[in-house]
Chains A and B, each alone.
Chain A
Amino acid sequence: MIDNLLLGLETAVSPENLLWCFIGVALGTVIGMLPGLGATTGVAILLPITLTMEPVTALIMLAGIYYGCQYGGSISSILVSTPGDSSSVVLTLDGYQMARKGRAGAALAIAAISSFVAAILSLLFLILLAAPIASFALKFGPAENLAVILLGLATIVSFSGSNAVRGLSMAALGILVSTVGVASGFSTDRFTFGNVNLLSGIPFIEVMIGLFAVGEVLHQIRRGGEKPIRARFRDMIVTRSDLRRAVAPTLRGSGIGLGLGVLPGAGATLASFMSYGIEKQVSKHRNEMGSGAIEGVAAPEASNNAAANASFIPTLALGIPGGGATAVLLGAFIVFGLQPGPLLFESQPALVWGLLVSFFFGNLLLLVLNLPLAPVFAQALRLPYSYLYPVIIFTSLIGAYAVGNNHFSLWVVFVAGLVGYLMKQFDFPVAPLVLGLVLGPLLEKALVQTSAHGEGNLLVIFQQPISLTLTLAAIVLGVGPGLLRTLRARRSATTRTNERQDIHA
């Protein structure tokens, strides 16, 4: 182990690798800030420029782009409520509210610090437990994957609060929208109305850009806009109290991110939503969640980053990508003539351990680069909104085009923008819709596979210990909050009745 780490350190700290790691992190941050351009697109777009490099240098740079994009997405979520990708959607809830209260710098700094802590924790986890965890994840069959997705969907109840029915309705709508196009495992096209652009489904990144960026702009115009934020510099800086409040959510978020990031396909989006939902249940400051709480930034950001790092476990150890970005990275391995899997650790130790150690330096560079720049990024909010929003629409449209290289993407943003605006006007939550949209294809795939595995019987999820535990947890998470509310309401009603009877007596 020590020999491997020293070998990795020797590879990672070479001036050339450090330089490309820095370039990757910086480029990734910029790309992640652009609406719609998340880690997957960022890595895919920049993959060609690494083809002339040494494999290890190229992979270190691509990994830098990956986590740079993750943080860049958080910046645009916090500042202008425009997530770079689906894993940053949750940050628009509290991060954006903190920004509107003049605390954008603190939100960005907390995001950077919790990301760094989660990265370091997940790196230690990755180094120590990659092999055993990978073998445990191998036990996950269709039923277990289905149970994980159900667990993810159940978190909607917790973060929808008292508006749980609307949250569930929006999640179901998201799943419904995700079924447009050719069905997973079938040749039937659904709800395409003869439009060839819809055969491959409604592109969720473009939908997300429309819902969040264009929808938010239209909503702000209808509300009368926000005044430019003229926060004092000291309000932009993270305080000791902020840091204290961020410790527990960061640790909880890291744990959730690690657990879910290891599972192939579950990924950072589910982890960020789930950690937010759990924080809303257990945090001391849960009543502030949704209105600019530090916990609402620290937990999802930590889980997002921990999941991103943990998703390298199935990628490197099994050759199964943990998410979209690692799928592109898997492609990069193959381009360089490397075959990820258990043998990679033995045949290419310098590459594997160099890459793992470079995560530490990459995340350190990300922190060093972004912590001092947080108040600078936050200055964007000083611009009058009437100059800022046309630029947001401009970059949203061109960002959406860059994802699909298709004019149809622009129309998707246009329609989703109107839908997002109407949802805000009618007070329908947007985040559950996005979660449904993201999880829909995974849910259908898991349902089809579980159905085949159980010969048409979906109840097999109750017959295996892991899937049974996860399904029961999903039921508790889904039904528990409503049941607790009802019990509390009944108890307070009984107390009031007893008090009245005592007064009369």
Chain B
Amino acid sequence: MSDTQTRASVSGIVGNAVLAAVGGAALAGGLGFGVTTEAGLIGPGFLPSVAGALVLVFSLVEIVRLYAARPAAAAPSPSEASSAVAEEAQGTVGDPPADGSKALDTFGRTARQQTTAVWKVFGTIGAAVLLVPLLGMIPALGLLVLALGLWVERRPVVPVVLTSVGAMVFAYIVFVRVLHVPVPTGPLGFV
């Protein structure tokens, strides 16, 4: 079994284990709401219990399947071997190299920098959402575009500023002037 397959299998098992836990908790919570009413009709806990039980069962089935598939890959049939090669080839093309090699992607980043960039983008979005009540929605989101362009992507200043201003003007015209969306303005009164 290749490293890529092992990683996919382990991450699949972890993901399904998390889902199974969510399903189990929902099942317990649903039972607490009451599966049936006193009249024997469906109660408020029926659907959460059934959905939770299904999530739990399907996740456990998937975990078993992933676990059972591990030894089978040790001696693959010719067709399984060729599909594994194809999958691995796709993985090579589609996914970043996991060894932290110095190959650069279209953003000019290495594999390690890609992971960091994801969390930088995610953190920037969170910061912008926090800033909305303080600055107003459009300025906060304009800053978001600036931060992503300059800090995360390290693009030249002028095109990033133009993109940010363009997005703000577009949003102002469409959402504020045309659609009359009451966007938060913040204490300074910016839209």
Looking at the assembled complex, report how far the CB atom of A486 sits from the nearest CB atom of chain B, in whole angstroms. Answer: 14
Q: Does any Cβ of B come within 8 Å of A34's Cβ?
A: yes
Contact of A224 among B43, B109, B171 (CB under 8 A): B109
Residue pairs across A and B with CB atoms within 8 Å: the count is: 193
Could you tell me which A residues sit within 8 Å of B by CB distance? 30-31, 34, 45-46, 165-166, 168-169, 172-173, 175-176, 179, 183, 186, 188, 190-191, 214, 217-218, 221-227, 385-387, 389-391, 393-395, 397-398, 401-402, 405, 407, 410-411, 414, 417-418, 421-422, 425-428, 440, 443-444, 447-448, 451-452, 455-456, 458
- Cβ-defined partner of A451 (8 Å) among B42, B55, B129: B42
Further 16 A-B residue pairs, CB within 8 A, beyond A386-B149, A397-B129, A402-B175: A31-B179, A169-B58, A172-B51, A172-B58, A173-B19, A176-B51, A179-B30, A191-B48, A214-B125, A222-B117, A222-B118, A223-B94, A224-B109, A226-B106, A421-B122, A451-B41
- Kindly list chain A residues whose C-beta atoms are within 8 Å of the C-beta of B102: none
Bound-complex Cα distance A140 to B62 (A): 37
Partner of A165, one of B46, B61, B121, B159: B61
Contact, CB under 8 Å: A391 / B19: no
A-B residue pairs, 10 tightest by C-beta: A224-B105, A169-B58, A183-B44, A172-B54, A456-B40, A426-B15, A176-B51, A451-B42, A390-B148, A188-B44
- Chain B residues within an 8 Å CB radius of A179: 30, 47-48, 51
Q: How far is the CA of A169 from the CA of B26 in the complex (A)?
A: 14
In the complex, chain B residues 107-153 whose Cβ is within 8 Å of any chain A Cβ? 107, 109, 114-115, 117-118, 121-122, 125-126, 128-129, 132-133, 137-138, 141-142, 144-145, 148-149, 153
Docked complex: B5-58 residues within 8 A CB-CB of A: 8, 11-12, 14-16, 19, 22-23, 26, 29-30, 33-34, 36, 39-48, 51-52, 54-55, 58
A492 to B58, CA, bound (A): 27
Q: Which one of B105, B137, B179 lies within 8 Å of A225 (CB-CB)?
A: B105
Give B47-83 as 1s and 0s: 1 = Cβ < 8 Å from A's Cβ atoms.
1100110110011011001000000000000000000
Contact check: which of B47, B155, B175 meets A398 at CB < 8 Å? B175
Tell me the complex Cα distance, A166–B16, Å.
9
Do the beta carbons of B11 and A425 come within 8 Å of each other?
Answer: yes
**Contact yes or no, A222 B107, CB < 8 A:** no
Measured between beta carbons, the chain A residues less than 8 angstroms from B44 are: 183, 186, 188, 190
Complex Cα distance, B54 from A39, in Å, reads 32
Which one of A183, A398, A451 has the highest number of Cβ atoms from chain B below 10 Å of its Cβ? A398
Identify 30 residue pairs between A and B in the complex whose beta-carbon atoms are under 8 Å apart, listed by A's number.
Answer: A166-B58, A169-B55, A176-B51, A179-B51, A186-B44, A190-B29, A190-B48, A217-B121, A218-B118, A221-B114, A221-B117, A222-B114, A222-B115, A224-B96, A224-B107, A224-B109, A226-B106, A387-B155, A387-B160, A390-B164, A390-B167, A391-B167, A394-B141, A397-B125, A397-B141, A398-B141, A402-B179, A402-B181, A440-B51, A444-B47
Given A223-B94, A387-B149, A401-B137: A175 and B47 interface contact (C-beta under 8 Å)? yes
Find chain B residues with CB under 8 A from A186 CB.
43-44
Distance between B149 CB and nearest chain A CB, rounded to angstroms: 6
The answer to whether residues A390 and B12 also contact, given A179-B51, A190-B44 and a CB cut-off of 8 A, is no
Q: Are B95 and A417 in contact (CB under 8 A)?
A: no
Query: Is the CB–CB distance between A34 and B125 below 8 Å?
Result: no
A410 vs B175: C-alpha distance in the bound complex, in angstroms? 16
